[in-house]
Amino acid sequence: MATATTEGIKISVEAIYQKEFSNPNLHHFVFTYKVTIENRNPFTIQLLRRKWEIYDAAETLKLVEGEGVVGQQPVLEPGCAHTYLSGCTIRSGMGKMKGEFYVEKLNDGKLLTVIIPEFQLIANIFNN
């Protein structure tokens, strides 16, 4: 599991290779990743946007940006956490992801950039 804390917001990410949905012969490797966002601040935040950088050993960098996460813009009170599951596909079976969340402090409207730590995407095609 990869973790990072920025501006009092802890991000934890765990990636899992999905062998049953992958087809290595067709260069199609599916991964899910579980992200937990913990607000360790004394103020409430709202996640507005996200930006992902997806690196595949077989391709160049792919950028994915958009509003919220899986259709939501969660509000996190002090001490609360939000967990969600998402996924991606890569062609080589080896890659990595990292990114940023853009959150707003609801008490004063200040925007914060929160680091999503880099994590590995490795297809364990023999044991998984």
**pLDDT tens digits along 113-124:** 999 999 999 998
What architecture (CATH level 2) is domain 2-122? Sandwich (2.60)
pLDDT of residue 47: 98
Query: Quick check: pTM over 0.85?
Result: yes
What tokens does 26 get?
């067709």
| Residue 128 pLDDT exceeds 50 | no
Amino acid at 113: T
pLDDT of residue 126: 58
The helix/strand/coil state of 8 is: coil
Residue spans of the domains in the chain: they are 2-122
**pLDDT tens digits along 6-39:** 999 999 999 999 999 999 999 999 999 999 999 9
If we measure between CA atoms, which residue out of 61, 92, 82 comes closest to residue 9?
82
Percent residues over pLDDT 70 in the chain: 97
Is 44 exposed, middle or buried, given 0-12, 13-18 or 19+ CB atoms closer than 10 A? middle
What tokens does 121 get?
């995407």
If we measure between CA atoms, which residue out of 90, 87, 111, 106 comes closest to residue 6?
111
Cα–Cα distance for residue pair 13/1, rounded to 1 Å: 6
**pLDDT tens digits along 49-82:** 999 999 999 877 999 999 999 999 999 999 999 9
- The residues pairing with 84 across neighbouring beta strands, listed in sequence order, are 35
**pLDDT tens digits along 86-102:** 999 999 999 999 999 99
Please state whether beta strands 111-122 and 94-105 pair in parallel, antiparallel, or not at all (unpaired): antiparallel
